[in-house]
Amino acid sequence: MSVTVLCDIRFELGEGPSFDQHTGTLRWFDIVNCKLAEMKPGTGTVTIHSLPFMASAIARIDKSRQLLACEDGLYVRDAASGSLALHVPLEDDNASNRSNDARVHPCGAMWVGTMGKKAEKHAGSIYWHRGGEIRKLYSNITIPNSICFSPDGSVGYFADSAGGKLMKVACDPATGLPSGEPELFFDNRGQTGGLDGSICDGDGVVWNARWGGSALDAYSPDGARINTIELPVLQPSCPAFFGQDASHVAVTSAWQDMSARKREADPLAGCLLDTGLTVRGRFEPDAVI
């Protein structure tokens, strides 16, 4: 197993990777520079779209539409033209905040995190969306991350990267709403690097990008760290399954807040990587709007 570069374009804050199995397309963002990238792995061709605002996550609605988590709401994007239409406002009265981590529950509901644009303490929240309805689930979060779900939708995961705790919560598989109180899944405090984006594979293993730790970690369903894949970037940000059977794992990365000297010492910072892993991955469900 060896890590290779899927895309050598160095995004300042590469984030939010997602794979559309229907078109074989990987998509990811440079959040702070308002960019959306698309590529079909193996072709070497990358298309970069400029966006009118920051966006951090994308999900398929159907063959012609996508749902984007953006700085002031959820937007429907026309896949062919790239046009954007506001679907549901989200903290649109707070210009200091933006969206961050998000993922679709197996039932089609989307959990979306918000945070301060300067990572202001406790400025963010995590919301649930389905069918045009928004509900706030958790507040006083600094950097919401690691949102993902067990294969049957009965467990949700999330973290506040500033707090260092990966949490789990029982969920209603039919709605994606929490049905219990969050509890500690893994305590990352005192470790090198912090919890960033996560995905959950078909065996219920949670794969987490460790920002500042040059690693992708795997956690068993009982919360034990069972594997660590070293990565050639200091700040990996989020993984995504991709490929014909979702068996490969890509990871975004970033050079945000690095000095020129640190960027020179981390020449792949901001690139999209193929970890070389073979896992029992899962395709992302469509979002229900």
Catalytic residues: 196
What is the token pair recorded at 148?
A: 């993902």
Q: Measure the CA–CA gap between 60 and 102, rounded to whole angstroms.
A: 13
The order of strands in the sheet holding 14-20 is 14-20, 25-30, 35-39, 46-50
What is the token pair recorded at 255?
A: 């050079």
Any bridge partners for residue 221, and if so which? Answer: none
| Beta carbons within 10 angstroms of residue 73's beta carbon | 18
Residue carrying structure tokens 């202001």 = 120
Phi and psi based region of residue 218 (left: phi greater than 0; alpha: psi -120 to 50; beta: remaining) = beta
Q: Residues 6 or more apart from 89 whose CB is under 8 A from it?
A: 72, 73
For residue 100, the surrounding DSSP H or E stretch is strand 97-104
SS3 of residue 264 by DSSP = helix
